[in-house]
Amino acid sequence: MTGLYVHIPFCSVKCFYCDFAAFSGQSRQAGRYLAALEAEASLRPFCAPETLYVGGGTPSELTAPQIVELFERLGRAYPAAKLNEITFEGNPESLTDDKLTALRSAGVTRLSIGLQTADDALLPAIGRRHTAADFTRVFGAARRAGIPSLNVDLMYGLPGQTLESLRRTLDFVLDLRPEHVSLYGLQVEDRTLFARRGVEENNDNGRDMYEAAIRALAEAGLEHYEISNFARPGHRSRHNDNYWLRGNYVGLGCSAASFAGGRRSANEERLIPYLEAVEAGRLPDAESEAPKGLEALGEEAFLGLRRIEGFAPSSALRAAFAGPWATLKARGLAREDGPRWRLTGEGVFLANEAFREFVPPFALQETVE
């Protein structure tokens, strides 16, 4: 399977925790950017994607006519596409009725709405420009527009967030019966406003929140199928599952990544250099690599272990990482389920510790060709 990811980097205000390529005050470049996306597609090898994910940034910062233009350009660029899933990300303050109509007309099957928290006191403290009431209005409008699958993005471990606040947010969201929930713990990345302010992660509090959320979501009928993702039957994200299984994907736009034939590339992050490269007929690649040996096998492991059901490792992976795998099992972080490797409940929460066994520098003496 091949997935297509399209990055829309425009935002009204960059959230305080955001480390993605996202630019406020640059929406005047949107028309030029949409043309560049189509031009970049023409520079890349032919493919017939089966899933499409439009992320950001905030894709819903595009106007309704620009959303129509985006999908028209992608249709021209990929005439052989057989899309069985189309995801679009948006925020409550910019998802208007005319945009929702445009999305439904374009065939969008999944709408991912960024809420993060339903606590109106916390929202401005993390850089959000909407209220819980705004979210409720947009969620209802998306239902009426007929978009088949709605995802809600939530966060835990936010500065000032309490366990009770998270529980109220979960009750608020689950009353709306979304088909999918994505739940992310706060990670303070170097290039964020939170990092500059000295905000620190609270892992102890975060664990209590994560465990409470898992219970609440399971009781509401959402399956925990990946570390940060929960879905009702038939509503898993196929596009993201392809990432975790190391399937092929093409990325268009600032900072977008591509992976095909074992080679990964990532685009220029900065808006104007990206535009100028594509307009000059050059691929906007900022970096390119082809993981080999232990690095490729390790990637197979830590991506596959993100899935709650785990994955069936190759014989080469089993042999190369037999020692680290035995260590993880002895620590109670991993187990074998028939031919599959998977994390335990403890391992899911401490996933980053488990993943360290599979990324350079390796504590292994063997080499793999």
Digit-by-digit pLDDT tens for the chain (369 residues) are 999 999 999 999 889 898 898 999 899 999 999 999 999 999 999 999 999 999 999 999 999 999 999 999 999 999 999 999 999 999 999 999 999 999 999 999 999 999 999 999 999 999 999 999 999 999 999 999 999 999 999 999 999 999 999 999 999 999 999 999 999 999 888 888 888 999 888 777 889 999 999 999 999 999 999 999 999 999 999 999 999 999 999 999 999 999 998 999 999 999 999 999 999 999 999 999 999 999 999 999 999 999 999 999 999 999 999 999 999 999 999 999 999 999 999 999 999 999 999 998 887 544 444
Selected from 3.40.50.300, 3.40.50.20, 1.20.1290.10, 3.20.20.70, the CATH number assigned to the domain covering 2-242 reads: 3.20.20.70
Any idea which architecture 293-358 has in CATH?
Answer: Orthogonal Bundle (1.10)
The pLDDT of residue 16 is 86
* This model's pTM is above 0.85: yes
Q: Which of 12, 226, 222 lies closest to 127 in space, CA to CA?
A: 12
- Report CA Rg, the chain: 21
Q: How far is CA 97 from the centre of its chain?
A: 25
Query: What's the pLDDT score for residue 366?
Result: 45
Evaluate whether 10 touches 27 at the Cβ level (below 8 Å).
yes
Q: Kindly report, as residue ranges, where domains of CATH 1.10.10 are found in the chain.
A: 293-358
**Which residues make up the CATH 3.20.20.70 domain(s) of the chain?**
2-242
β partners of residue 285: 267
Q: How many residues does the chain have?
A: 369
CB 328 within 8 A of CB 334: yes
